[in-house]
Amino acid sequence: MTIRGRIAGCGAYLPARVVTNQELAQMVDTSDEWIVERSGIRCRHIAAENETTADLASAAVKDALRRAEIDASAIDLLILATTTPDQTFPATATKVQAMIGMTGGAAFDLQAVCSGFVFALATANNFIRCGQARNAVVVGAETFSRLIDWNDRSTCVLFGDGAGAVVLTAEDGTGTIADRGILSTHLHSDGRYRELLQTDGGPSTTQTVGKARMSGREVFRHAVTNLADVAEEALATFGLTGGDLDWVVPHQANRRILDGTARKLGISPERMVITVDRHANTSAASVPLALAEAVNDGRIKAGDLVLLEAMGGGFTWGSALVRM
């Protein structure tokens, strides 16, 4: 008998305000054509002034709990992947815990930037596998707009705000890939590249939050290679090929990165869930937002084999192979 975390429900929340490329072109020297051609992004959601990461996260978690038909009182683990916590401490996860009415178990934040959701999903699944949790909530939530230098055209056009969440529930199985649940996870980081994508501040250095700084071209190069490698690693674990996957839910950073990854894996573009055109890069929220969209509109069905993958600052990158 093997215990795995099965995804029992997916939820999402996007702030109401939508900012188009045309609006950004009035703020910095850019154009809709440049942004669409280089990134595939057409618009992004931006949190209202009084909306925080905890607000976005708790809305997504409530949506996921409702769809999973599980009460907050049954949740014994909540992991929030975020780069934009409400405060330096306590963990924003504890605020979300209180907001959703979860009073038992443990809640903590996890920081792996754009890979945060995949890292958090792997962590929660391991808690379930070793019997330390039965029902876990994993949420990726970001108000990344707060880390943006709105005068820097090379970064301000690329990011957005949002939150996505899943409920993971312990499921007994036979230990084969026919079982529903998280079949494998692979996580990596390489701190030698941390300066290619970072903030220029932090509590222990400048005592400020800092703004996001990125060497876009180098990040792009590493992203295509690392994402294809970690996907191959997941497939090789079970002797699969790209053709065996029903869906790929990738981190949504840039349409060209997604197309490059699909080509390398031999996956048709129709099997990739794409939200980057409407959400831009929402960092840790991007994978669960895309997953929630495709599950809740009926594209991804129970029993489908789905590969989640992400890459972010650190560098960090990882994958999760899931039988829905």
Positions marked catalytic: 114, 251, 281
Q: Find the binder of ligand ACO among 281, 282, 316, 319 (CB under 6 A).
A: 281
| H runs (alpha helix) in 149-275 | 153-156, 216-237, 255-265
Burial of 256 (0-12, 13-18, 19+ CB in 10 A): middle
When the beta carbons of 257 and 306 are compared against ligand ACO, the nearer one is: 257
279 binds ligand ACO (CB under 6 A): no
Helices 53-68, 92-100: crossing angle, 10 deg rounding: 50
Number of residues counted as binding ligand ACO (CB under 6 A): 23
Residue 231 CA to residue 58 CA, distance in Å, equals: 30
153 binds ligand ACO (CB under 6 A): yes
Residues 94-123 that bind ligand ACO (CB under 6 A): 114
92 binds ligand ACO (CB under 6 A): no
30 binds ligand ACO (CB under 6 A): yes
DSSP track, 161-189: -EEEEEEEEEEEE-SSTTSSEEEEEEEEE
**Are 309 and 250 a contacting pair, CB within 8 Å?**
yes
267 binds ligand ACO (CB under 6 A): no
260 binds ligand ACO (CB under 6 A): no
Count of beta carbons in the 10 Å neighbourhood of residue 18: 14
59 binds ligand ACO (CB under 6 A): no
Residue nearest to ligand ACO (CB): 216
When the beta carbons of 8 and 156 are compared against ligand ACO, the nearer one is: 156
Please list the residues that pair with 209 across neighbouring strands.
Answer: none
Which positions lie near ligand ACO, rule CB under 6 A?
A: 30, 34-35, 38-39, 114, 153-154, 157, 197, 214, 216-217, 219-220, 223, 251, 253-254, 257, 281, 311-312
